[in-house]
Amino acid sequence: MKKRSVLISVLLVILWYFLSRIVQNEFILPRPDVVMRRMVFDIADSNFYYIVFTSLLRLLKGIIVSLIIGIPLGLAAGLSDKVSDYMQPINAIIKAVPNMSYMIILLIWVGAENSVIFVSFFVLFPLVFTNVQMGIKQMEQSLKNALRVYPAPFLTRLKGVYMPQILPQIYSSLKVGCGLGLRVCIMAEVLSQVKVGVGKQIYFARNILDMSAIFSWTIWMILLSIAMEVILEKLKFLFKVKD
């Protein structure tokens, strides 16, 4: 699988090179070597790390808020049909509202910096909530029967029964949500024009028609998404996920 990914990546770079040779216009499609030189320059620039860290911190805050709110509500909805009925329309509305609407409304309500965090939350919350609820709903009938026959305090049930059921679902939410949240976070930064962030750099590059910078930042975000997936894969054991 990894060999195929590397092969496809190489083929895409080759295709990119030939297309850039055909277009012969750096303002439309810069050559791969030009973009690579720009990326090397980024690595040598200390501001690059601060910019990436700032965007990742916003994403992390959105993820943490989504987990803090989504896990308890998903657990409650999985255990109670009444809570599930109340949460279903709320969750449906959150998922139905376009991301761009969130960005514009929140930009007016909470300002540029906080709007990015809130947008990340509204994108990731339905994912966490739905997966946790599904994890409880799919709990084996034998476990449900055992809890009826041998009732235990909630904290005991949470630790011994519910958490093993929802940890793999939380992992699944994070695996999908990190990449999705990063893309949405960058979009929100572009729209809100935050003072510091990857989205700000892309917006600035667009204004001065610096396509090599746009391509380099785009590639960095792809590499960052891949890195987050690799890290999550390494931490899979913490979520009791079976191979």
174: burial class by Cβ within 10 Å (0-12, 13-18, 19+)?
buried
Angstrom distance (rounded) from CA 167 to CA 170: 5
Predicted confidence (pLDDT) per residue in 41-82, tens digit: 999 999 999 999 999 999 999 999 999 999 999 999 998 999
pLDDT for position 6: 80
Most confident of 4-8, 73-77, 97-101, 162-166: 73-77
- Average pLDDT estimate for 165-174: 92
Residue that is written with structure tokens 């999985």 in the block? 78
Q: Is the pLDDT of residue 148 over 80?
A: no
- Confidence at 2, pLDDT banded by 50, 70, 90: low
User: What percent of the chain has pLDDT above 90?
Assistant: 59
- Confidence at 1, pLDDT banded by 50, 70, 90: low
pLDDT for position 243: 61
Q: Is the pLDDT of residue 170 over 80?
A: yes
Residue-wise DSSP of 198-211: HHHHHHHHHHTT-H
Q: Is the pLDDT of residue 240 over 80?
A: no
Tally of CB atoms within 10 A around 107: 19
pTM given for the model: 0.88
**Mean pLDDT for all residues in the chain:** 89
Angstrom distance (rounded) from CA 137 to CA 121: 24
CATH H superfamily, domain 46-239 = MetI-like (1.10.3720.10)
Structural domain boundaries in the chain: 46-239
Q: Which residues contact 97 (CB under 8 A, 6 or more apart)?
A: 122
pLDDT for position 25: 86
Angstrom distance (rounded) from CA 53 to CA 175: 19
Angstrom distance (rounded) from CA 51 to CA 185: 13
Of 237 and 125, the structure prediction assigns the larger pLDDT to: 125
Residue that is written with structure tokens 């998903």 in the block? 74
